[in-house]
């Protein structure tokens, strides 16, 4: 139950509304628990000589009217209870979802590389829903049943204290049942939620990779895998249901023993004249009113255990501290950067790996330079540029921006000054205009068109039905690979970055369009720093500096002419690409 204590700040946020909810619970109970007393008086009045002609004018009619009237008032209070406590639980659920996503946004990039998306989706849906049940029914029913139990028990003791003690003999067993089954429910709930996460992850991967599945005709294979996970989830649900199903019958059984005891010993007292029929009827009505609190107690405990299990899973994420964040060493007086980059003896090693990805990197990029990174696949090019916006932090060495340690620059200032187009192009299911404007505060249509023109996507957009307002599918599926890359480049240009990073983002563009984009970029990026990663020599040959990486280290650097003359890796790549072009022409 300890994880549920983390909900205290959310409850305090709505304490006034919850307090009114408790007041309505008290009102509902007051107008409910007095009704059996009215019933007892009405039954005693029936013992007198009343016929059908005088029934409506008798005290019996008055008691019946009071029962109806009090039931109506109790119903109004119950409605107000739901409008306060249950509605508040929905507001807290809203806050939990927002805080959950906000925390995820703060987490470091490697966290998402090691955590399945489907698992996070399960947390955001199923787990938060289970926690909401604790905040709504989990507050309303315990407060309602506790007050009902207290008030009813008091009135029963006033009516006949000895009979009350006899009737309560089976009830202590309820605590034992709840304790024994509660822990089991908590464990089974955790296991069920873990299976649900696996199921959600599999569904998400199937939908994201549907083109691969269809291309390889693996539909039946995926259906079988999903069915296996669904069956495992079903089994966990059934195990939990079996445990829960034991609680309800046991509650009814224990309450049934109380009723049997009451009828037997109470009946003897009525026969002996120690208790009136009306009082006995009222006593039985009170005992029946105890049935719900006793049963609800078990139901609420089951709900609390499930909510605690879900909250424990959520707390694992909330307790995960972002490894990359502003800290005591951050200089918040820095408001902007110019774009000079320097790496000094920098080494980087991914977690859970023994071999460094980058080793002893020394590189200085002056403001306004265009630097190209070239190398074989896996040489560390993408890792190097990911260190600049601090998607990763270097393991050792220094990375300086404008002569300042990168860790001293506020993250928001650093990243808002960088435009990066990653290898894996991602577009949102939105309009082309909104995708290009993403990351920029500008709403200028002129700036939008300028960015689209530089990226050479403008001419394609003009052929679309609604031009820039054309909706594209999920991940930009309605666009070709080249169009997606150019739209992503336009998005990076739109924010007018001090540092522009193109990570192999022209691979799906033909050479003519590539030359047009690079020509326009040189004009746009004057006075700004550009870093281009590419396997094409044609893309990088005009860069101010070309850096060749191999096995995580810099092995060559220079201009195009210098590296070709040097005869190393770059020259080898250049020669192979020239040969490929000649073969294509033939």
pLDDT score at 585? 64
Question: Is residue 53 pLDDT above 60, yes or no?
Answer: no
CA distance 467 to 451: 15
Range(s) of the chain covered by CATH 1.20.1560.10? 2-318
pTM here is 0.72
Question: Is residue 500 pLDDT above 80, yes or no?
Answer: yes
Q: Average pLDDT, whole number, for the chain?
A: 80
Range(s) of the chain covered by CATH 3.40.50.300? 341-585
341-585 fold: Rossmann fold (3.40.50)
CA distance 74 to 32: 6
Q: How many helices (H) and strands (E) does the chain have?
A: 23, 10
Q: What percent of the chain has pLDDT over 90?
A: 0
Which residue, among 548, 445, 455, 555, has the nearest Cα to 505 in the 3D structure? 455
Secondary structure letter of residue 464 according to DSSP: S
pLDDT in tens, 15-33: 888 889 888 888 888 888 8
pLDDT band at 340 (very low <50, low <70, confident <90, very high): confident
CA distance 340 to 518: 21
Long-range CB pairs of 214-217, under 8 A, 24+ apart, other chains included: none
pLDDT score at 153? 81
Question: Is residue 252 pLDDT above 80, yes or no?
Answer: no
CA distance 181 to 251: 12
Does the domain at residues 2-318 carry the CATH identifier 1.20.1560.10? yes
pLDDT band at 275 (very low <50, low <70, confident <90, very high): confident
CA distances from 235 to 118, 143, 191, 221, 430 (A): 20, 34, 10, 21, 40
pLDDT in tens, 160-186: 788 888 877 777 776 667 666 766 776
Question: Is residue 333 pLDDT above 80, yes or no?
Answer: yes
């Amino acid at each position: 139950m300890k994880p549920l204590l983390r909900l205290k700040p959310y409850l305090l946020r709505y304490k006034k509304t919850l307090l009114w909810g408790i007041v309505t619970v008290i009102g509902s109970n007051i107008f409910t628990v007095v009704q059996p007393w009215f019933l007892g008086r009405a039954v005693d009045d029936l013992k007198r000589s009343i016929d059908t002609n005088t029934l409506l004018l008798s005290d019996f009619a008055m008691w019946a009217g009071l029962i109806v009237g009090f039931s109506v008032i109790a119903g109004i209070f119950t409605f107000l209870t739901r409008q306060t406590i249950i509605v508040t639980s929905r507001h807290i659920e809203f806050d939990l979802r927002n805080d959950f996503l906000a925390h995820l946004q703060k987490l470091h990039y490697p966290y998402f590389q090691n955590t399945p998306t489907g698992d996070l989706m399960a947390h955001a849906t199923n787990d938060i829903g289970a926690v909401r049940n604790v905040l709504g029914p989990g507050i309303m029913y315990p407060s309602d049943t506790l007050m009902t139990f207290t008030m009813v028990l008091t009135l029963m003791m006033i009516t006949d204290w000895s009979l009350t003690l006899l009737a309560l003999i089976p009830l202590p067993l309820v605590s034992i049942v709840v304790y024994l089954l509660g822990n089991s429910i908590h464990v089974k709930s955790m296991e069920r939620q873990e299976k649900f996460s696996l199921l959600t992850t599999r569904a998400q991967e199937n939908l994201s990779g549907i083109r691969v599945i269809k291309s390889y005709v693996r539909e039946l294979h995926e259906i079988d895998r999903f069915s296996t996970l669904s069956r495992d989830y079903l089994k966990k649900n059934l195990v939990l249901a079996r445990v829960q199903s034991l609680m309800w019958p046991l509650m009814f059984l224990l309450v049934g023993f109380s009723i049997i005891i009451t009828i037997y010993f109470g009946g003897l007292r009525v026969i002996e004249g120690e208790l009136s029929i009306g009082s006995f009827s009222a006593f039985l009505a009170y005992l029946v009113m105890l049935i719900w609190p006793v049963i609800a107690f078990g139901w609420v405990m089951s709900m609390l255990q499930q909510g605690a299990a879900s909250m424990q899973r959520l707390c694992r994420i909330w307790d995960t501290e972002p490894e990359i964040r502003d800290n005591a060493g951050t200089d918040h007086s820095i408001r902007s950067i110019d774009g000079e980059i320097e790496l000094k003896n920098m080494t980087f090693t991914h977690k859970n790996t023994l071999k460094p990805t980058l080793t002893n990197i020394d590189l200085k990029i002056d403001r306004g330079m265009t630097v190209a990174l070239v190398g074989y696949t896996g040489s560390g090019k993408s890792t190097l540029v990911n260190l600049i916006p601090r998607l990763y932090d270097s393991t050792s060495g220094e990375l300086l921006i404008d002569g300042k340690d990168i860790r001293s620059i506020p993250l928001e200032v650093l990243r808002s000054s960088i435009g990066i187009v990653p290898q894996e192009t991602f577009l949102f299911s939105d309009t082309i205009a909104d995708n290009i404007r993403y990351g920029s505060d500008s709403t200028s249509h002129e700036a939008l068109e300028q960015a689209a023109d530089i990226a050479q996507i403008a001419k394609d957009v003009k052929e679309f039905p609604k031009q820039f307002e054309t909706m594209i599918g999920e991940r930009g599926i309605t666009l070709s690979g080249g169009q997606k890359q150019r739209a992503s480049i336009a998005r990076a240009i739109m924010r007018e970055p001090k540092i522009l990073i193109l990570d192999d983002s022209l691979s799906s563009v033909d050479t003519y369009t590539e030359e047009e984009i690079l020509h326009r970029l040189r004009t746009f990026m004057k006075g700004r720093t550009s870093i281009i990663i590419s396997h094409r020599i044609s893309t990088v040959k005009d860069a101010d500096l070309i850096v060749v990486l191999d096995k995580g280290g810099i092995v060559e650097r220079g201009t195009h002419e210098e590296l070709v003359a040097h005869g190393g890796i770059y020259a080898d790549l250049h020669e192979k690409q020239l040969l490929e072009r000649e073969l294509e022409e033939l």
